[in-house]
Structure 1
Amino acid sequence: MHAFSVSAPDAGQHWNPQDYAIDAGFVPVLGGAAVRLLAPRAGERILDLGCGDGVLSSELALSGAHVTGVDASPELVNAARARGIHAELMDGHALRFTAQFDAVFSNAALHWMRAPDRVLEGVRRALRPGGRFVGEFGGHGNVARIIAAVQAARAAHGHGSSPFAWYFPTAEAYADRLHQHGFTVELIETVQRPTPLPTGVAGWLRVFAAPLLEDLSQPDREQVRQAAAGLLSDLPRDAQELPLADYVRLRFQASVR
């Protein structure tokens, strides 16, 4: 999978590991840039924040690092454990570690954690002196076209706009927040990354759009998803004719003294 699954209690998202592997297996595959930035080393203790089903946790462990994963989804924690990962059920807003890790890593998860100051407090506390915080998540403008289509489909069917919003900050805003929590920012950048959807727009909406539809009945959710997919039928496509979602990633590396 990876790691969108640590979320605020009101995010309205539930994860099925089998569905996720089918519809969103691209997420850990595209997490390689963040793993390379982390550059895990043998013997290090690394916290994978929002570990999901443990795909990238397993990759980190190949370096010889000792990896602990945390996620708010019981189903995904169990899936990570089935891969041999030491994984704990834990909300990313309430990390229970003190000076235990050389690094905290997070891929495609932090935008689900909509109280970022609480997250950063926990990350800062979990790190040992000299530790680093490395990750990638949705940046400002991420999937803006998809979100607009869902909201338009809701309105067209008389439901009004969803109040839900992911945390998609600008690089400047997140760098400032890191500084406020005692981090030194070594790298932060916004990356425009059009992303092919292997099971199409319908698969993406099925897996990720639940918080935007949480207030609707099941039939209304399906109606809105179908309408939104129709609005997105003209998305650009890659060489394999897969629709390209307008992903924008925020990638960063920071450290503490």
Structure 2
Amino acid sequence: MTDSWSASNYDTHASFVPKLGNIILDKLDAKPSERILDFGCGDGVLTQQLAQKCHTVVGIDASPDMIAKAKQLRQGIAEYHVADGHCLDDWFDEQKQEPFDAVFSSATLHWLKEPAKAIRGIHHVLKPNGRMVAEFGGFMNCGEVHTALITAMNRRGHDGKALSPWYFPSEAEYSKLLEANGFRVDSIELVPRMTQLNTDIAGWLTTFGFAFLEVLKTEQERQEVLAEIMEHLRPVYQREDGKWFIMYVRLRVVAYKQ
């Protein structure tokens, strides 16, 4: 499995992501007796906060580079594994893991283009009446940047929409998927969130937009696309003091295994 993630890039350009995960962590309301899976733990920053609230936390992520960084940060009882979120049930059975009281996920599920498969995996690893508490990109998330990436690829003869690695569902669509795959939805909502970037749009694109940039043949082409999108977005998304912002739209979900 090719690893396109860079823990160092993430730390430089996107450290705001785990910092803004505290809202959904509060919704989880982890108990000292609970065993919890952090689905898409990334560099482990948020996982370490979770580890202070529960009995056991296991973090999984598809990126070996991110898991390596998480293991460096590890303190206490957290453990980490490289695992594909689309194959969670296989990993769970192969590792002979004990069922979890809850599955927690922050800023991950929009990367899984087969959402029903991911939901079934989460259902599989939970105890009866266990809960899934997640926040991820929903309908219109980062819409201006997403559209600019697709348009830039289309101009260069690629199918920009097909290149997109993201799945940004509405509340209605995701509720149907949850209910069709064994969950009772307790709450689900789309929440717009203006988000200040660590650096600029180019830094965000190199960290998260690699699926688009990797199809370009030369570094010059990649730099041209970055500059093109920066200039397209600059009039509205760069503040007077030079800071850059993106309008995130997060889908927040609490659901229980039937």
Q: TM-score, normalised by structure 2?
A: 0.90
Task: Give the Cα–Cα distance (whole angstroms) in 1 for the partners of residues 4 and 202 of structure 2.
Answer: 17
Equivalent position of 1:198 in the other structure: 198
Q: What is the Cα deviation at residue 241 of structure 1? A: 4.3
2-side partners of 1:143 and 1:60: how far apart? 27
Q: Which deviates the most, 233-242 or 27-36?
A: 233-242
What stretches of structure 2 of length at least 5 have no aligned partner? none
1:97 aligned residue? 92
CA distance in 2, matches of 1:57, 1:218: 37
Q: In the alignment, is the contact (CA less than 8 A) between 1:132 and 1:253 conserved in 2?
A: yes
Residues 16-55 of structure 1: per-residue CA shift (max 9 Å, x gap): 1111111000000111111010011112110000000101
Checking the alignment, whether the CA contact within 8 Å between 1:164 and 1:212 is kept in structure 2 is yes
Q: Quick check: 1:179 aligned with 2:179? A: yes
Partner of 1:34: 24
SS of equivalent residue, structure 1 residue 188: strand
| In 2: Cα distance, 1:38 partner to 1:210 partner | 31
Distance 1:170 1:13 in 2: 29
Structure in which a larger fraction of residues adopt helix: 2
Distance across 1 between alignment mates of 2:199 and 2:71: 26
Which residue number corresponds to residue 124 of structure 1?
A: 123
Residue 16 of structure 1 aligns with which residue? 6
Confirm whether residue 53 of structure 1 aligns to residue 48 of structure 2. no
Change (3 A) 1:134 1:173: same
The question of 1:71 aligning with 2:70 is answered: no
Partner of 2:229: 228
Q: Residue 64 and residue 154 in structure 1: after superposition, are their counterparts in 2 closer, same or farther (change >3 A)?
A: closer
Gaps of 5+ in 1: 1-8
Q: Which residue of 2 aligns with 1:3?
A: none
> Is the 2:36–2:54 Cα contact (8 Å) retained in structure 1?
no
The letter of the residue matching 2:37 is L
Identity over aligned pairs, percent: 37
**Matched residues in 2 for 1:249 and 1:15: separation?**
21
| CA distance in structure 1 between the partners assigned to 2:19 and 2:71 by the alignment | 20
- How far apart are 1:240 and its partner, in Å? 5.6
1:159 aligned partner = 157
- Higher mean C-alpha displacement, 78-87 vs 246-255: 78-87
Q: 1:169 to 1:79 in 2, by over 3 A?
A: same
Structure-1-length-normalised TM-score: 0.90
Q: Aligned partner of 1:94: which letter?
A: C
Q: Deviations over 1:145-181 (max 9, x none)?
A: 101222333344x334422231000011001100001
Aligned partners of 1:105 and 1:120: how far apart in 2? Answer: 12
SS in 1 for 2:85: coil
Within 1, Cα distance between the matches of 2:68 and 2:3? 17
The amino acid that maps onto 2:168 is F
